[in-house]
Amino acid sequence: MSNKNIINVSLANPRGFCAGVDRAIQIVRLALKKFGPPIYVRHEVVHNKYVIDELKNEGAVFVEEIEEIPRGSHVIFSAHGVSKLIKKKAKKYNLIPIDATCPLVTKVHTEVNQMYDKDYHIVLIGHAGHPEVEGTMGQIEQNSPNASMHLVQTIDDVNKLNISADKKISYVSQTTLSFDDTKNIIDSLKVKFPNIMGPKTSDICYATQNRQDVIKKLVLDHDLIIVVGSPNSSNSNRLVDIALQKGVDAFLIDDMKKFNPDCLKNKKKIGISAGASAPEILVQNLIKKIKEHSEVKLIELDGVKEKVIFKLPRF
């Protein structure tokens, strides 16, 4: 008889790839097939090391700056979207753009542009330095007395906003934030600016929302949550945050070589999820790792069936 401890492992559903990530990866592979390597991609097309390493092996070249790309090449814009300045630079360098921006990020860009054209002061709720935030902030090239763009990350930032409450004001948000944290910031914006306008539907995307909803259920009766995802994946980090905020142990992992079996000590019920950019193979590798140290009773949980599919661009 095995003397390994027995652990119940619940697999979250939905987990892993969303429609925007799936589309972005397909776009890189299609471009490689059609034009041959190298295909240049500005920024990691999706935030997952395993996916990026695979695409590099297939001939994709990831760069941060447009200036690094030989003139006349194809360039793919990542799922996080880009600023107008990046698009202009690509044109200046005679690059042929292929846009892998997730359509749900494009929706936010459209909201920003429409509001700016109607002379709104726009508040973006998001994390400074994230490429999606840079792309969305970069939809507005110049602030004017009538229309401007402001980033807030916390309620404290809202308190510091220097916009007169009698101006036209609206807000949008990054697509991959914590729904609850964002709601608190929106509530404080509404107190400070009673006339503020918001998007018709939340900018937080369906995939982020669904994965967060499952974690909120898992924390009720699991004593550890492991999220498969890379450190730079915003939506994956938010899943860990939610579990920690509820007082349940949680961590992020994308390299199973770094798996530390000590995390299993005294744990009876573990929940596993994966961020929207994490491939299923990493989840399966994690389960194998846990099985090396414990006897695993695996349960695939029921959940919302995601049917969203985004059309591929023509190129």
> Which range touches ligand SF4 (CB under 6 A), out of 14-22, 52-60, 117-125, 298-306?
14-22
Tell me if 255 sits within 8 A of 49, measured CB to CB.
Answer: yes
CB-nearer residue toward ligand SF4: 101 or 294 = 101
Q: Does 104 bind ligand SF4 (CB under 6 A)?
A: yes
In the chain the first and final C-alpha atoms are separated, in Å, by 59
**Number of residues engaging ligand SF4 in binding (CB under 6 A):** 15
Q: Which of residues 172-191 bind ligand SF4 (CB under 6 A)?
A: 175-176
Nearer to ligand SF4, 158 or 207 (CB): 207
Q: Which stretch binds ligand SF4 (CB under 6 A): 15-23, 50-58, 221-229, 241-249?
A: 15-23
- 274: nearest Cα among 235, 243, 302: 235
Report the alpha-carbon distance of residue 217 to residue 219 in Å, rounded: 6
Nearer to ligand SF4, 62 or 259 (CB): 62
Give CA–CA dist 270/261, Å, rounded.
Answer: 13
**Given 7, 11, 18, 55, the residue binding ligand SF4 (CB under 6 A):** 18
Handedness of CA 120, 125, 128, 133 (dihedral sign): negative
Q: How far apart are CA 86 and CA 81, in angstroms?
A: 10
Catalytic residue (choose from 44, 111, 132, 134): 132
List the strands of the sheet with 121-125, edge to edge.
148-152, 121-125, 169-173
Only one of the segments 92-100, 102-110, 279-287, 295-303 lies at the binding site for ligand SF4 (rule: CB under 6 A); that segment is 102-110
Closest to 49 (Cα-Cα) out of 309, 300, 285, 305: 285
Among 78, 83, 136, 208, binds ligand SF4 (CB under 6 A): 208
235 touches ligand SF4 (CB under 6 A) = yes
Which residue has the CB atom at the shortest distance from ligand SF4?
A: 20
Residues 276-295 that bind ligand SF4 (CB under 6 A): 276
Q: Which residue's CB is nearer to ligand SF4, number 62 or number 193?
A: 62
Contact residue for ligand SF4 among 32, 69, 95, 102 (CB under 6 A)? 102
For the segment 28-87, give every residue that binds ligand SF4 (CB under 6 A).
Answer: 79
Report how far Cα 107 is from the mean position of its chain's Cα atoms. Answer: 15
Q: Is 20 in the site for ligand SF4 (CB under 6 A)?
A: yes
Neighbours of 259 (CB within 10 A): 18
Helix residue spans in the chain (DSSP H): 19-35, 49-58, 84-92, 103-117, 131-137, 155-160, 179-192, 206-218, 234-245, 280-293
132 catalytic, yes or no?
Answer: yes
Binding site for ligand SF4 (CB under 6 A): 18-21, 79, 102, 104-105, 175-176, 205, 207-208, 235, 276
| Catalytic positions | 132
